[in-house]
C-alpha cells in the first residue's frame, strides 16, 4: 500500500500474503492529521498487524521523536521504555513534544514538555531583515552601522 499526497508517494508498506489485511514488515505512515503545515511521519516495523520494536517520528525530514513497542499475548502492542511523543495538533507553529517513560503500556514518572520554535519562520525573518538592510543602504535612506543577524 502506498500513501499519496500532492501526487507524491509519501509512505506505505506491505500487508500479509495470506490476505488477512494485517500489516507486516517496514512501514512509513503519515501521522495524525497530515497537512502542509504538519508533515509528520512515523516509521517502523509491523509483525502480524502489531507495531513492534523502535518507531521513529519524522518531521520535515528530521527525526524528532521515537519510542518502542512490545507485543503482549492477547493484548497486541504496548509502549515500553523512553519515548519522545508529539502533542496533539503538532504543526509548524506548535512544535511541542513530551519526553518520558512507559512501563507496561502506561506513562510513569516525570514527563518533560519541550517547545521548538519554527525554524522556517526564523529563516524568513532573517531574510526579511537582510532585505530591509540592503534596501536601506541602496535606497540611501540610512546606513545601518554594526548591523548583524541574530
Q: What is the DSSP string of 19-79?
A: SS--EEEEEEEE-SS-BTTB-EEEEEEEETTEEEEEEEEEETTEEEEEEEEEEETTTEEEE
**pLDDT for res 131:** 44
Least confident of 18-27, 87-96, 127-136: 127-136
pLDDT digits (tens, 9 = 90+) for 55-79: 999 988 889 999 999 999 888 999 9
pLDDT digits (tens, 9 = 90+) for 94-121: 888 899 999 999 999 999 998 877 655 5
Contacts of 24 (CB under 8 A, 6+ apart): 13, 14, 15, 16, 46, 47, 48, 49
The structural domains of the chain, with segments of one domain joined by +, span 2-116, 118-150
How much is the pTM? 0.71
pLDDT digits (tens, 9 = 90+) for 24-55: 999 988 887 766 667 788 999 999 999 999 99
In angstroms and rounded to an integer, the radius of gyration of the C-alpha atoms of the chain is: 22
Amino acid at each position: 500500500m502506498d500513501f499519496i499526497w500532492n501526487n507524491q508517494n509519501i509512505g506505505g508498506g506491505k500487508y500479509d500474503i495470506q490476505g488477512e489485511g494485517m500489516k507486516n514488515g517496514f512501514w512509513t505512515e503519515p501521522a495524525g492529521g497530515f497537512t502542509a503545515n504538519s508533515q509528520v511521519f512515523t516509521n517502523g516495523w509491523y509483525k502480524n498487524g502489531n507495531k513492534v520494536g523502535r518507531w521513529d517520528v519524522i518531521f520535515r525530514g528530521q527525526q524528532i521523536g521515537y519510542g518502542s513497542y512490545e507485543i503482549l499475548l492477547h493484548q497486541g502492542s504496548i509502549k515500553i521504555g523512553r519515548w519522545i511523543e508529539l502533542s496533539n495538533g503538532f504543526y509548524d507553529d506548535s512544535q511541542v513534544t513530551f519526553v518520558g517513560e512507559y512501563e507496561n503500556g502506561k506513562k510513569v514518572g516525570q514527563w518533560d514538555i519541550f517547545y521548538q520554535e519554527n525554524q522556517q519562520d526564523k529563516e524568513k525573518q532573517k531574510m526579511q531583515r537582510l532585505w530591509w538592510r540592503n534596501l536601506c543602504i541602496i535606497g540611501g535612506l540610512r546606513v545601518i552601522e554594526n548591523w548583524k543577524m541574530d
